Amino acid sequence: MVIQPTIIGNWKMYKTAAQAVEFIRALKTMIVNNSQVWLAVPFTAIHAAVKEAAGSDIVIGAQNMNSAKEGAFTGEIAGIMLKDAGAKFVLLGHSERRQHFHETNEQIAAKVKRALLDGITPVLCVGETESQRESGYEEVLKEQILEGFKHVEKEDADKVILAYEPVWAIGTGKTATPDIAEETQKYCRSVLAEHFGKRASNSMPILYGGSVKPETMSALMKEKDINGVLVGGASLDPKTFSQIVNFT
């Protein structure tokens, strides 16, 4: 089954609403590839980004959300609020959320469930540290995937996306070789098959994230089980990001 590539730019804690508008205005003129172009922008930039992206193929999403529908959770944001602002997807379980904010698989699973209930596409991020890679990454990834998607029913498998991001290759300049990335993502797909069945797993996009750059993009996208990328630092400049989007 051919899966249309999905390229997600994760801006992290960068760009004001005005800067987001300027970026999208420039990017719209540069996209020539037939990929799905998604941008995970800061909460404060969602509305402005959605307005500027209207009529284009650029989809706007968020970088996190709370697992509750609403409530007395000062400083948090609900999925229905993201949707109201125009967000279509949300990153969940990013390695920085796991590391710096100590999010657990159980908490992330609850967020995935809430995102689906609120009509937002959850992008579940999984990945191993360098020490976990060396000691055997399979069990780490299996637990993150099965726990993260444990509330997702088989019939909803087409509403979720998996993003594999080796923690040892994020912000370090290191990139998993295409062979390593493919081997790991093939394993991730086998875990998805165990949970959802082979047909559903074969149709689910699995993205690679880890210091993705224009010069590494073509080789990565030639691999069978890499259906797109999650881009961090290289997504902050429209020219550089467009080179990743226009990888063929």
The answer to whether the beta carbons of residues 164 and 208 sit under 8 Å apart is yes
Torsion 218-171-166-201 (CA) sign: negative
Average pLDDT, the chain: 95
Band (pLDDT 50/70/90 cuts) for residue 1 is low
- Distance (Å, rounded) from C-alpha 57 to C-alpha 237? 18
* Catalytic residue (choose from 52, 128, 165, 182): 165
Three-state secondary-structure class, residue 38:
strand
- What dihedral do alpha carbons 40, 44, 48, 51 form, nearest 10°? 60
What predicted TM-score, i.e. pTM, was given to this entire model? 0.96
Kindly list the distances between the CA atom of residue 122 and the CA atoms of 159, 170, 218, 244, in Å, as whole numbers in the listed order. 8, 21, 26, 22
Better-predicted residue by pLDDT, 134 or 195: 195
Percentage of the chain exceeding pLDDT 70: 98
Whether residue 110 contacts residue 93, with contact meaning beta carbons closer than 8 Å, is answered with no
* Residue 153 known to be catalytic: no
Cα 47 from Cα 16, distance rounded (Å): 11
151 noted as active-site residue:
no
Whether domain 6-245 has CATH 1.20.1250.20: the reply is no
Give 9-32 pLDDT, tens digit per residue.
999 999 999 999 999 999 999 999
225: confidence class by pLDDT, cuts 50, 70, 90: very high
Q: What is the pLDDT of residue 134?
A: 85
Q: Which of 52, 94, 103, 182 is the catalytic position?
A: 94
DSSP 8-state assignment for residue 62: B
Q: What is the pLDDT of residue 176?
A: 84
Compute the half-sphere exposure of residue 165: CA atoms within 13 Å on the CB side of its CA. 29
pLDDT, mean of residues 88-111: 97
